[in-house]
Chains A and B, each alone.
Chain A
Amino acid sequence: MSAATIPEIITIALAKSFADHEVGFTGLVTGAAAMLYGTSIPLAAMMFAKLTHAPNLTILLAGWSHNPDLASLAALPDQEFDSTLLDLPCEAQTVRYPGQFSFKRGHVDFGFSSGVQLDVTGSLNSVVIGDHARPKVRLVGPILQPEHMTIFRREYVMLPHHTARVLVEKVDYVSGVGYPGGLAGRAALGIPEGGPEWVVTPECIFDFDKEAGRIRLRSIHREERRGELAGVTGFALPDLEDAPATPEPTAEELDLLRRVVDPRGLLLGRAPEH
């Protein structure tokens, strides 16, 4: 069997962090790289978890299709309300607001979000680059990010590009709040719960010293990239030397992922030689 790809390594690492009975919320993100990190890897990870240690996990695809039967799809739709999804076999569909679950009661255990900037406190920006009144670049807006980062019980920030322009010391606009001032700082803002758990990039996984309110390197996907990481990251990496490798999936895990979860490579693409 060929070696694990980076998306496969990330998928297995994410899957192992989900607990049974949890509810995971994913949007349907468009664009190749964004879709891979925002939708496909999260879906593959949740499906893998359901087949292994978390059979009662609920997948909320696009926030509305519960536990969809993705294996029946010929291609992943690229719109959240594509009629393909309407006909996709599933357990429940949420077609009105409020629906079967309540965001504000914390019914979503974890979600996945992205942005164009993420800073050392874990705050995320998808609104503007530059000044808010006269922005250099106006982006889409906060969408559901404020909710993802507060009333979801934890959040995985999925960044398809690891560059110094994305991973910055301080974001230009906070659309999703991290840990400014640590957990005490969050509590003082009236947000005693939720927040980013991991930040996942093609290079590495970050987590947080939540007390201190500071991002830290959790693991690196490829040893040969360790020397390059500081150059592509916009903030200091004091723990660069000590960070372990992201665990390599076992042969059994890769087999389950490739043969059962994603037999046609719809989600993660086909691994070479597979």
Chain B
Amino acid sequence: MASASFLPPRRTIPFPDRKVVTMAEAASLVPDGARVAIGGFANYQRPMAFVRELVRQRRRDLTVVGTVSGIEVDMLAGAGALKKVETSYVGLEKYGLARNIRRRNEAGTVEIVDYPEVLSFDRFRASRENLTFWPSAYLGGTDILTHNPDIKAFDCPLTGRKLYAVPPADPEVVVIHAGAADEAGNVLWPSRRLMPQELDLDTAQSAEMVIVTVEKIVSNQFVRRNPTLNMLPAYRTAAIVEAPCGAHPTPTLGRFVIDDAHMQAYVAASASDEAFDAYLDEWVRGTADHAAYLEKLGAAHVMRLQEIATI
């Protein structure tokens, strides 16, 4: 069967003219109804400054495709920006359940499509390899199949074994938070890193529109001194935004720890729609931009969240 195109189109959404843009410009690249992947893992290194800007811009009907989801999806749900999430987990780990999304799912206003965790990673591998599906052998008997008509059974043409075709992640836009990038759009990763940072690489390879918020914009010379850390070269990025402490209240490896007090306040606020609305009014809609948000947090508070990985 011949299709019109087998390589994904380079730009389904027009790229900005310049690589370095403001947070507002970057968030405006995500249209209502977009299918988005948000970097990080669980409640680690989420591009929260970007998520808050989506809320400020009153984005609607987003579908988030994820692996292990946390506060980034819960905030979008609580702000009424989320239509659907496809993931293996939504929760706040040691802070408990993600109450905004839970409430809205139980009320029928947010759809959750469940995938097992490993397959949720594989879906991004499928997109990276431009596959139309990822084969899985082990879904039989689960209700994951019962509730997901997008997964289709088929017989392996080589072995005859019953397999399931799992759809690829295929986000239209990927947003991640990283340490450093240059103005051309080369993004550096720490050499010793964990799942959240590593997973960002896989996520970034699954789409063409890749937006990166960074702690700091560095020179191209800095990049050329560290070529082995450049895991996302300039031709793979559409927009770069400088956002120091841009993952707050989640941590950024080597830079900031999780803001425990703020997480607690978030959890408390997410107990009801009203309380969460007040939280958004205070911390998101009530701050003009990320700089104003940092100012509201206060320099002393932010400094206390700093981490010194090595000396």
Contact = CB atoms under 8 A, between A and B. Distances in A.
Direct contact of A and B (CB under 8 A): yes
Interface of A: 21, 23, 56, 58, 66, 69, 89-93, 95, 98, 100-102, 104-107, 151, 153, 187-194
A56 B236 CA distance: 12
B6 A192 contact: yes
A100 B7 contact: no
B2 interface: yes
B227 A192 contact: no
A93 B5 contact: no
B231 interface: yes
Nearest to A89: B224
B235 interface: yes
A144 to B, nearest CB: 16
Contacts of B127: 105
B227 A91 contact: yes
Contacts of B233: 58, 66, 91-92, 100-101
A102 B235 contact: no
A105 B7 contact: yes
A158 B202 CA distance: 34
A72 to B, nearest CB: 11
A106 B227 contact: no
Interface of B: 1-8, 10, 127-131, 184, 186, 201, 205, 208, 220, 223-224, 227-228, 230-236
- Of the candidates B1, B3, B7, B235, the one having the most CB atoms from chain A within 10 angstroms of its own CB is B235
B7 A92 contact: no
In this complex, which of A58, A104, A187, A189 has the most chain B Cβ atoms within 10 angstroms of its Cβ?
A104
Contacts, number: 91
Main secondary structure of the interface of A (DSSP, over half): loop
B235 A107 contact: yes
A190 B2 contact: yes
A191 B227 CA distance: 35
A189 B1 CA distance: 8
A100 B231 contact: yes
Given A98-B205, A153-B7, 19 more contacts: A66-B230, A89-B224, A91-B186, A91-B227, A91-B230, A92-B186, A92-B228, A93-B230, A102-B205, A104-B128, A104-B129, A105-B7, A105-B8, A106-B130, A107-B235, A187-B2, A191-B6, A192-B2, A192-B6
B234 to A, nearest CB: 7
B128 A102 contact: yes
A102 B130 contact: yes
A19 to B, nearest CB: 12
Contacts of B236: 100-101, 107
A130 B7 CA distance: 34
14 contacts: A90-B227, A98-B205, A101-B233, A101-B235, A101-B236, A102-B128, A104-B130, A106-B8, A106-B130, A151-B7, A190-B6, A192-B2, A192-B4, A192-B5
Contacts of B8: 105-106
B154 to A, nearest CB: 19
A105 B127 CA distance: 8
A265 B174 CA distance: 43
Contacts of A153: 7
Nearest to B205: A102
B224 to A, nearest CB: 6
Nearest to B223: A91
A70 to B, nearest CB: 13
Contact of A95 (B5, B208, B228): B228
A92 B236 CA distance: 12
A106 to B, nearest CB: 3
A129 to B, nearest CB: 31
A187 B4 CA distance: 8
Contacts of A189: 2
B235 A23 contact: yes
Given A91-B223, A92-B186, A100 B5 contact: no
B1 A190 contact: yes
Given A91-B223, A98-B129, A58 B235 contact: yes
Nearest to A105: B130
A89 B222 CA distance: 11
Contacts of B205: 98, 100-102, 105
A90 B224 contact: yes
Contacts of A106: 7-8, 10, 130
Which of B1, B5, B224 has the most CB atoms of chain A within a 10 A radius of its CB? B224
A66 B7 contact: no
A66 B235 CA distance: 10
